[in-house]
């Protein structure tokens, strides 16, 4: 008996598919790439290279770009303030389980450093909050200029330094944003002259930042320790205020009036540096702009 015409069409279509797949398989075998599995050494070498690259980039990767990183989260109870108002800034650092972190390492003689700076790089302040038994950090604040501020919580857990950040908003008055000032090798602060030597700073390369402090054109040779070193330095990138971790240089002898740090600028551009040093019982801040080529 003849096969009905509709079924005949279906059978021919199925047969055509079989022929097409068979031809594709044959062509695939004929043009198989000339790559063998070998003993896996190529894959192992690639994995090691990728791991080394990742570790190298993570070492100099800027911090402070978000409220969360590596499972830790910054929770600020209040982000809105009025100009001239005396208030409190309260916050917690939560672990991956959402619980406040209370066991922090000592970092530069403190368990928590709070850096607050307006997003145009002005109004810098370095605060040290106090923590209560519930893991809540508190510090009094009063803003003398309106605008949007960045608050950086800088701390260490299990030997690893971390920086989380969020924005604060100060209303009232007139807000006038300012660009980062041009680079100047010498700045004045409270009667002191501070010189920065950072010539030849290149993006992605270790750089030495050397400061010398003078007063009345004479070297200040009796700088007192501040936060466990001759000075403390904060570096922020223009545009996103990425926070750079810098480290005091103590592996070689320095002049009495010299303070030196090591830093790696992750990208070309301008960076604002805030050097803090102690003399005659007062902590002073000198601000610089560095251009990384």
pLDDT at 60: 59
Q: At 62, is the pLDDT very low, low, confident or very high (cuts 50, 70, 90)?
A: confident
187-234: pLDDT as tens digits: 999 999 999 998 789 999 999 999 999 999 999 999 999 999 999 999
Greater confidence, 101 or 31? 101
Q: How far apart (Å, rounded) are the C-alpha atoms in residues 71 and 80?
A: 26
- Give the sign of the dihedral formed by CA 193, CA 198, CA 235, CA 162: negative
Q: Sheet harboring 282-292: ordered strands across?
A: 243-244, 232-237, 269-279, 282-292
More confident residue, 1 or 277: 277
Q: Check if the beta carbon of residue 115 is closer than 8 Å to that of residue 126.
A: yes
Q: Is the pLDDT of residue 34 over 80?
A: no
pTM of the entire predicted model: 0.79
Tokens read off for 62: 């800027």
Calculate what percentage of the chain has a pLDDT beyond 70: 79
Kindly report, as residue ranges, where domains of CATH 2.60.40.1930 are found in the chain: 68-171
d(CA 207, CA 201): 6
Length of the chain: 293
* Whether pLDDT at 285 is above 70: yes
The larger pLDDT score, comparing residue 127 to residue 13, is at 127
Question: Per the structure block, which two tokens stand in for 16?
Answer: 């055509």
Q: What is the mean pLDDT of residues 71-87?
A: 96
As its CATH architecture, domain 186-292 has Sandwich (2.60)
Looking at domain 68-171, does it have CATH number 2.60.40.1930? yes
The pLDDT value given to residue 61: 73
pLDDT at 14: 42
Domain with CATH 2.60.40.10 in the chain: 186-292
Q: How large is the average pLDDT for residues 8-36?
A: 40
Residue with tokens 């005091």: 248
- What is the DSSP track for 137-168? EEEEEE-SS-EEEEEEEEEEETTEEEEEEEEE
């Amino acid at each position: 008996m003849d096969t009905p015409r509709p079924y005949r069409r279906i059978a021919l279509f199925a047969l055509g598919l079989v022929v097409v797949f068979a031809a594709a398989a044959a062509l695939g075998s004929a043009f198989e790439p000339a790559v063998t599995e070998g003993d896996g050494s190529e894959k192992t070498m690639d994995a090691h290279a990728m791991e080394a690259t990742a570790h190298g980039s993570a070492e100099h990767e800027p911090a402070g770009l978000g409220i969360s990183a590596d499972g830790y989260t910054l929770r600020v109870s209040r982000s809105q303030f009025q100009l001239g108002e005396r208030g409190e800034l309260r916050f917690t650092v939560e672990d991956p389980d959402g619980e406040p972190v209370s066991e922090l390492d000592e970092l530069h003689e403190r368990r928590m450093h709070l850096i607050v700076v307006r997003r145009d790089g002005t109004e810098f302040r370095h605060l040290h909050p106090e923590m209560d038994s519930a893991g809540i950090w508190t510090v009094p604040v009063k803003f003398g200029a309106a605008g949007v501020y960045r608050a950086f919580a800088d701390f260490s857990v299990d030997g690893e330094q971390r920086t989380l950040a969020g924005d604060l908003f100060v209303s009232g008055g007139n807000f006038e944003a300012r660009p980062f000032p041009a680079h100047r090798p010498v700045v004045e602060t409270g009667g002191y002259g501070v010189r920065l030597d950072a010539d030849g700073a290149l993006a992605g390369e270790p750089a030495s930042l050397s400061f010398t402090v003078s007063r009345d054109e004479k070297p200040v040779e009796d700088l007192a320790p501040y936060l466990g070193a001759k000075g403390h330095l904060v570096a922020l990138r223009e545009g996103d205020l990425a926070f750079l971790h810098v480290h005091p240089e103590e592996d070689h002898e320095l002049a009495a009036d010299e303070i030196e740090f090591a830093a790696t600028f992750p990208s070309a551009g301008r960076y604002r540096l805030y050097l803090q040093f102690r003399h005659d019982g007062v902590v002073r801040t000198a601000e610089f702009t560095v251009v990384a080529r």
